[in-house]
Amino acid sequence: MGRFQWVAWGAGLVPIFLFNPYQIDVLTTALLYAILTLGLNLIVGFTGLLHLGYAAFFAIGAYTYGLLNLHAHCPFWLGLLPAALAAGLLGVVLGVPALRVRGDYLAIVTLGFGEIVRIALTNLEPWTGGPNGLLGIDHPSLWIPTKGSWDFGVTSEPYYLLALLTTAGVTWICRHLSRSRVGRAWMSIREDELAAASMGIPVLQLKLLAQGCGGAIAGVAGAIFAAKQGTITPDSFDFILSVTILAMVVLGGLGSIPGAILGALVLGSLPELLRGFDQYRMLLFGLSMILLMRWRPQGLFTKFHARPIT
Protein backbone atom coordinates (compact mmCIF):
# COMPACT_ATOMS: atom_id res chain seq x y z
CA MET A 1 0.00 0.00 0.00
CA GLY A 2 1.49 3.38 -1.06
CA ARG A 3 1.88 6.38 1.18
CA PHE A 4 -1.09 8.18 -0.38
CA GLN A 5 -3.33 5.19 0.39
CA TRP A 6 -2.14 5.24 4.00
CA VAL A 7 -2.83 8.96 4.24
CA ALA A 8 -6.31 8.45 2.76
CA TRP A 9 -7.11 5.68 5.25
CA GLY A 10 -5.85 7.79 8.13
CA ALA A 11 -7.86 10.82 7.03
CA GLY A 12 -10.98 8.70 6.67
CA LEU A 13 -10.62 7.53 10.29
CA VAL A 14 -10.36 11.08 11.66
CA PRO A 15 -14.07 11.37 12.60
CA ILE A 16 -13.76 8.24 14.75
CA PHE A 17 -11.10 9.86 16.94
CA LEU A 18 -12.36 13.46 16.83
CA PHE A 19 -15.63 13.53 18.74
CA ASN A 20 -15.80 17.32 18.62
CA PRO A 21 -17.99 18.42 15.66
CA TYR A 22 -16.21 21.77 15.61
CA GLN A 23 -12.85 20.12 14.95
CA ILE A 24 -14.32 18.02 12.16
CA ASP A 25 -15.91 21.15 10.68
CA VAL A 26 -12.50 22.89 10.67
CA LEU A 27 -10.99 19.93 8.83
CA THR A 28 -13.88 20.00 6.34
CA THR A 29 -13.18 23.66 5.61
CA ALA A 30 -9.47 22.86 5.20
CA LEU A 31 -10.35 20.12 2.69
CA LEU A 32 -12.50 22.58 0.72
CA TYR A 33 -9.44 24.83 0.63
CA ALA A 34 -7.44 21.83 -0.61
CA ILE A 35 -9.84 21.36 -3.54
CA LEU A 36 -9.54 25.04 -4.43
CA THR A 37 -5.75 24.94 -4.07
CA LEU A 38 -5.48 21.94 -6.38
CA GLY A 39 -7.51 23.81 -9.01
CA LEU A 40 -5.47 27.00 -8.73
CA ASN A 41 -2.28 24.92 -8.84
CA LEU A 42 -3.17 23.90 -12.40
CA ILE A 43 -3.22 27.58 -13.39
CA VAL A 44 -0.40 29.01 -11.28
CA GLY A 45 1.81 26.02 -10.49
CA PHE A 46 1.60 24.04 -13.73
CA THR A 47 1.09 26.78 -16.31
CA GLY A 48 2.73 29.73 -14.52
CA LEU A 49 -0.18 32.19 -14.80
CA LEU A 50 -0.61 34.57 -11.86
CA HIS A 51 -4.31 34.60 -10.95
CA LEU A 52 -5.71 36.94 -8.27
CA GLY A 53 -9.44 36.40 -8.85
CA TYR A 54 -9.82 32.66 -8.30
CA ALA A 55 -12.57 33.15 -5.70
CA ALA A 56 -14.85 34.22 -8.58
CA PHE A 57 -14.94 30.64 -9.92
CA PHE A 58 -15.73 29.42 -6.40
CA ALA A 59 -18.62 31.91 -6.27
CA ILE A 60 -19.98 30.93 -9.68
CA GLY A 61 -20.10 27.26 -8.67
CA ALA A 62 -21.85 28.08 -5.40
CA TYR A 63 -24.43 30.40 -6.98
CA THR A 64 -25.06 28.06 -9.91
CA TYR A 65 -26.03 25.22 -7.60
CA GLY A 66 -27.92 27.56 -5.26
CA LEU A 67 -30.03 29.07 -8.05
CA LEU A 68 -30.73 25.69 -9.65
CA ASN A 69 -31.74 24.23 -6.31
CA LEU A 70 -33.99 27.10 -5.26
CA HIS A 71 -35.71 27.71 -8.60
CA ALA A 72 -35.58 24.32 -10.34
CA HIS A 73 -35.40 22.07 -7.23
CA CYS A 74 -32.21 20.54 -8.61
CA PRO A 75 -30.69 18.02 -6.15
CA PHE A 76 -27.09 18.42 -5.07
CA TRP A 77 -25.66 15.45 -6.95
CA LEU A 78 -27.24 16.65 -10.19
CA GLY A 79 -26.20 20.24 -9.57
CA LEU A 80 -22.48 19.42 -9.33
CA LEU A 81 -22.11 19.15 -13.11
CA PRO A 82 -23.73 22.51 -14.01
CA ALA A 83 -21.69 24.21 -11.27
CA ALA A 84 -18.45 22.80 -12.67
CA LEU A 85 -19.42 23.60 -16.27
CA ALA A 86 -20.46 27.18 -15.46
CA ALA A 87 -17.24 27.94 -13.59
CA GLY A 88 -15.09 26.21 -16.21
CA LEU A 89 -16.80 28.05 -19.05
CA LEU A 90 -16.32 31.35 -17.23
CA GLY A 91 -12.63 30.54 -16.90
CA VAL A 92 -12.35 30.04 -20.66
CA VAL A 93 -14.33 33.22 -21.39
CA LEU A 94 -12.05 35.20 -19.06
CA GLY A 95 -8.98 33.65 -20.64
CA VAL A 96 -9.77 34.76 -24.21
CA PRO A 97 -8.94 38.44 -23.58
CA ALA A 98 -6.87 38.08 -20.39
CA LEU A 99 -4.27 35.54 -21.46
CA ARG A 100 -2.89 37.80 -24.17
CA VAL A 101 -1.21 39.82 -21.42
CA ARG A 102 1.43 38.62 -18.96
CA GLY A 103 2.91 39.22 -15.56
CA ASP A 104 1.57 42.16 -13.56
CA TYR A 105 -0.96 43.01 -16.24
CA LEU A 106 -2.48 39.53 -16.05
CA ALA A 107 -2.63 39.81 -12.26
CA ILE A 108 -4.50 43.14 -12.54
CA VAL A 109 -6.96 41.71 -15.08
CA THR A 110 -7.77 38.66 -12.96
CA LEU A 111 -8.05 40.82 -9.82
CA GLY A 112 -10.57 43.04 -11.61
CA PHE A 113 -12.45 40.00 -12.84
CA GLY A 114 -12.84 38.66 -9.31
CA GLU A 115 -14.16 42.00 -8.06
CA ILE A 116 -16.55 42.33 -11.02
CA VAL A 117 -18.11 38.96 -10.21
CA ARG A 118 -18.50 39.79 -6.52
CA ILE A 119 -20.02 43.22 -7.21
CA ALA A 120 -22.34 41.76 -9.86
CA LEU A 121 -23.59 39.16 -7.37
CA THR A 122 -24.21 41.98 -4.89
CA ASN A 123 -26.10 44.22 -7.32
CA LEU A 124 -28.19 41.62 -9.18
CA GLU A 125 -30.60 41.43 -6.27
CA PRO A 126 -33.65 40.01 -8.14
CA TRP A 127 -31.63 36.92 -9.12
CA THR A 128 -28.88 36.57 -6.52
CA GLY A 129 -30.54 38.03 -3.46
CA GLY A 130 -28.11 40.94 -3.37
CA PRO A 131 -26.07 41.45 -0.18
CA ASN A 132 -28.36 39.01 1.67
CA GLY A 133 -27.43 36.21 -0.74
CA LEU A 134 -29.37 32.99 -1.27
CA LEU A 135 -31.16 31.39 1.67
CA GLY A 136 -32.58 27.93 2.21
CA ILE A 137 -30.34 25.93 -0.15
CA ASP A 138 -30.99 22.20 0.27
CA HIS A 139 -28.41 19.98 1.90
CA PRO A 140 -27.25 16.82 0.07
CA SER A 141 -29.15 13.59 0.64
CA LEU A 142 -28.51 9.93 -0.12
CA TRP A 143 -30.89 7.05 -0.68
CA ILE A 144 -29.99 4.07 1.52
CA PRO A 145 -31.80 0.78 0.76
CA THR A 146 -32.46 -0.06 4.42
CA LYS A 147 -33.24 3.46 5.64
CA GLY A 148 -34.57 5.30 2.60
CA SER A 149 -33.58 8.92 2.01
CA TRP A 150 -30.91 10.23 4.39
CA ASP A 151 -30.37 13.99 4.58
CA PHE A 152 -26.90 15.27 5.51
CA GLY A 153 -28.47 18.00 7.62
CA VAL A 154 -26.09 20.16 9.66
CA THR A 155 -23.89 17.42 11.11
CA SER A 156 -20.18 17.65 10.34
CA GLU A 157 -19.20 14.05 9.53
CA PRO A 158 -21.03 13.62 6.18
CA TYR A 159 -19.57 16.83 4.78
CA TYR A 160 -16.10 15.83 5.96
CA LEU A 161 -16.35 12.52 4.10
CA LEU A 162 -17.78 14.27 1.03
CA ALA A 163 -14.95 16.81 1.01
CA LEU A 164 -12.39 14.04 1.59
CA LEU A 165 -13.67 11.94 -1.32
CA THR A 166 -13.82 14.99 -3.58
CA THR A 167 -10.26 15.94 -2.64
CA ALA A 168 -9.12 12.40 -3.42
CA GLY A 169 -10.89 12.49 -6.80
CA VAL A 170 -9.46 15.89 -7.75
CA THR A 171 -6.00 14.72 -6.64
CA TRP A 172 -6.28 11.67 -8.89
CA ILE A 173 -7.28 13.87 -11.85
CA CYS A 174 -4.45 16.34 -11.23
CA ARG A 175 -1.87 13.56 -10.92
CA HIS A 176 -2.92 12.05 -14.24
CA LEU A 177 -2.96 15.47 -15.88
CA SER A 178 0.55 16.21 -14.62
CA ARG A 179 1.84 13.00 -16.22
CA SER A 180 0.00 13.46 -19.51
CA ARG A 181 1.09 15.29 -22.64
CA VAL A 182 -1.13 18.21 -21.63
CA GLY A 183 0.56 18.46 -18.23
CA ARG A 184 4.04 18.39 -19.75
CA ALA A 185 2.97 21.05 -22.23
CA TRP A 186 1.67 23.23 -19.38
CA MET A 187 5.01 22.91 -17.60
CA SER A 188 6.93 23.78 -20.76
CA ILE A 189 4.81 26.93 -21.09
CA ARG A 190 5.62 27.78 -17.49
CA GLU A 191 9.35 27.35 -18.03
CA ASP A 192 9.65 29.17 -21.38
CA GLU A 193 6.56 30.19 -23.32
CA LEU A 194 8.50 31.30 -26.41
CA ALA A 195 10.40 28.02 -26.61
CA ALA A 196 7.18 26.06 -26.15
CA ALA A 197 5.50 27.96 -28.98
CA SER A 198 8.51 27.42 -31.26
CA MET A 199 8.17 23.65 -30.65
CA GLY A 200 4.62 23.72 -31.97
CA ILE A 201 2.76 23.74 -28.65
CA PRO A 202 -0.56 25.63 -28.95
CA VAL A 203 0.15 28.02 -26.08
CA LEU A 204 -3.11 30.00 -26.03
CA GLN A 205 -5.34 26.92 -26.30
CA LEU A 206 -3.50 25.18 -23.45
CA LYS A 207 -3.71 28.29 -21.29
CA LEU A 208 -7.46 28.36 -21.87
CA LEU A 209 -7.65 24.68 -20.99
CA ALA A 210 -5.81 25.33 -17.72
CA GLN A 211 -8.21 28.16 -16.93
CA GLY A 212 -11.20 25.96 -17.72
CA CYS A 213 -9.98 22.98 -15.68
CA GLY A 214 -9.05 25.15 -12.71
CA GLY A 215 -12.39 26.95 -12.86
CA ALA A 216 -14.34 23.68 -13.04
CA ILE A 217 -12.61 22.34 -9.92
CA ALA A 218 -13.45 25.56 -8.07
CA GLY A 219 -17.06 25.22 -9.24
CA VAL A 220 -17.32 21.78 -7.64
CA ALA A 221 -15.94 23.18 -4.38
CA GLY A 222 -18.44 26.03 -4.59
CA ALA A 223 -21.37 23.64 -4.94
CA ILE A 224 -20.21 21.66 -1.89
CA PHE A 225 -19.79 24.89 0.07
CA ALA A 226 -23.29 26.11 -0.84
CA ALA A 227 -24.86 22.76 0.07
CA LYS A 228 -23.00 22.64 3.38
CA GLN A 229 -23.77 26.20 4.43
CA GLY A 230 -27.34 26.40 3.15
CA THR A 231 -26.79 30.15 2.76
CA ILE A 232 -24.30 32.01 0.56
CA THR A 233 -23.52 35.72 0.31
CA PRO A 234 -21.17 37.68 -1.98
CA ASP A 235 -18.96 38.59 0.99
CA SER A 236 -17.85 34.96 1.23
CA PHE A 237 -15.97 35.26 -2.08
CA ASP A 238 -13.86 38.39 -1.67
CA PHE A 239 -10.33 39.27 -2.76
CA ILE A 240 -8.87 38.06 0.53
CA LEU A 241 -10.05 34.54 -0.25
CA SER A 242 -8.28 34.60 -3.63
CA VAL A 243 -5.05 35.75 -1.99
CA THR A 244 -5.38 33.11 0.73
CA ILE A 245 -5.74 30.32 -1.83
CA LEU A 246 -2.75 31.65 -3.78
CA ALA A 247 -0.73 31.73 -0.55
CA MET A 248 -1.61 28.07 0.03
CA VAL A 249 -0.29 27.15 -3.42
CA VAL A 250 2.96 29.07 -2.90
CA LEU A 251 3.40 27.73 0.63
CA GLY A 252 2.96 24.12 -0.47
CA GLY A 253 5.25 24.50 -3.49
CA LEU A 254 4.37 25.63 -7.00
CA GLY A 255 3.39 22.70 -9.19
CA SER A 256 3.38 20.18 -6.33
CA ILE A 257 0.11 18.29 -5.81
CA PRO A 258 0.94 17.00 -2.29
CA GLY A 259 2.27 20.48 -1.51
CA ALA A 260 -1.00 22.12 -2.56
CA ILE A 261 -2.93 19.85 -0.20
CA LEU A 262 -0.43 20.36 2.62
CA GLY A 263 -0.47 24.13 2.18
CA ALA A 264 -4.26 24.16 2.33
CA LEU A 265 -4.35 22.00 5.46
CA VAL A 266 -1.72 24.15 7.20
CA LEU A 267 -3.22 27.55 6.36
CA GLY A 268 -6.77 26.26 6.73
CA SER A 269 -6.29 24.91 10.24
CA LEU A 270 -3.48 27.04 11.72
CA PRO A 271 -5.68 30.11 12.49
CA GLU A 272 -8.07 27.86 14.40
CA LEU A 273 -5.23 26.21 16.31
CA LEU A 274 -4.10 29.67 17.39
CA ARG A 275 -7.60 30.77 18.40
CA GLY A 276 -6.72 30.40 22.08
CA PHE A 277 -4.37 33.38 21.79
CA ASP A 278 -7.31 35.67 20.94
CA GLN A 279 -6.06 39.03 19.67
CA TYR A 280 -2.52 37.74 19.01
CA ARG A 281 -3.76 34.94 16.79
CA MET A 282 -3.30 36.69 13.42
CA LEU A 283 0.04 38.15 14.56
CA LEU A 284 1.35 34.68 15.34
CA PHE A 285 -0.14 33.38 12.11
CA GLY A 286 1.65 36.01 10.04
CA LEU A 287 4.90 35.52 11.93
CA SER A 288 4.81 31.77 11.36
CA MET A 289 4.25 32.38 7.64
CA ILE A 290 7.26 34.72 7.45
CA LEU A 291 9.52 32.29 9.28
CA LEU A 292 8.36 29.36 7.17
CA MET A 293 8.96 31.15 3.87
CA ARG A 294 12.34 32.34 5.15
CA TRP A 295 13.26 28.78 6.12
CA ARG A 296 11.90 27.11 2.99
CA PRO A 297 11.13 29.68 0.25
CA GLN A 298 10.53 27.02 -2.41
CA GLY A 299 7.55 25.67 -0.47
CA LEU A 300 6.93 22.78 1.86
CA PHE A 301 6.77 20.11 -0.82
CA THR A 302 8.25 20.64 -4.28
CA LYS A 303 10.17 18.57 -6.79
CA PHE A 304 11.62 21.34 -8.92
CA HIS A 305 12.84 24.90 -8.77
CA ALA A 306 9.96 26.75 -10.37
CA ARG A 307 10.50 29.94 -12.29
CA PRO A 308 8.64 33.05 -11.11
CA ILE A 309 4.98 33.03 -12.11
CA THR A 310 4.20 35.31 -15.05
pLDDT over threshold 50, residue 80 = yes
Share of the chain above pLDDT 90, in %: 45
Residue 262 lies in a domain: no
Residue 254 lies in a domain: no
Residue 217 banded pLDDT, cuts 50, 70, 90: very high
Q: What's the pLDDT at 306?
A: 45
For the residues 53-58, what does the mean pLDDT come to? 94
Residue 57 lies in a domain: yes
Residue 269 banded pLDDT, cuts 50, 70, 90: confident
Residue 243 lies in a domain: no
Q: What's the pLDDT at 100?
A: 75
pLDDT over threshold 60, residue 310 = no
Residue 154 lies in a domain: yes
- Domain span holding position 60: 3-237
Overall domain count for the chain = 1
- Spell out the SS3 assignment of the chain: CCHHHHHHHHHHCHHHHCCCHHHHHHHHHHHHHHHHHHHHHHHHHHCCCCCCCCHHHHHHHHHHHHHHHHHHCCCHHHHHHHHHHHHHHHHHHHHHHHCCCCHHHHHHHHHHHHHHHHHHHHHCHHHHCHHHCECCCCCCEEEECCCEEEECCCCHHHHHHHHHHHHHHHHHHHHHHHHCHHHHHHHHHHHCHHHHHHCCCCHHHHHHHHHHHHHHHHHHHHHHHHHHHCCECHHHHCHHHHHHHHHHHHHHCCCCHHHHHHHHHHHHHHHHHCHHHHHHHHHHHHHHHHHHHHHCCCCCCCCCCCCCCC
For the residues 265-277, what does the mean pLDDT come to? 75
Q: What's the pLDDT at 98?
A: 74
Q: What's the pLDDT at 287?
A: 76
Average pLDDT for the chain: 84
Q: What's the pLDDT at 94?
A: 85
Q: What's the pLDDT at 308?
A: 43
Predicted TM-score (pTM) of the model is: 0.88
pLDDT over threshold 80, residue 79 = yes
Residue 279 banded pLDDT, cuts 50, 70, 90: low
Residue 276 lies in a domain: no
Residue 302 banded pLDDT, cuts 50, 70, 90: low
Q: What's the pLDDT at 274?
A: 67
Residue with the larger pLDDT of the pair 198 and 15: 198
Residue 256 lies in a domain: no
Residue 188 lies in a domain: yes
Lowest mean pLDDT among 55-64, 122-131, 136-145, 179-188: 136-145
For 97-152, how does the pLDDT look when each residue is reduced to its tens digit (9 = 90+)? 877 777 778 888 889 999 999 999 999 988 999 999 999 999 998 877 666 567 88
Contact 76, 139 (CB under 8 A): yes
pLDDT over threshold 60, residue 178 = yes
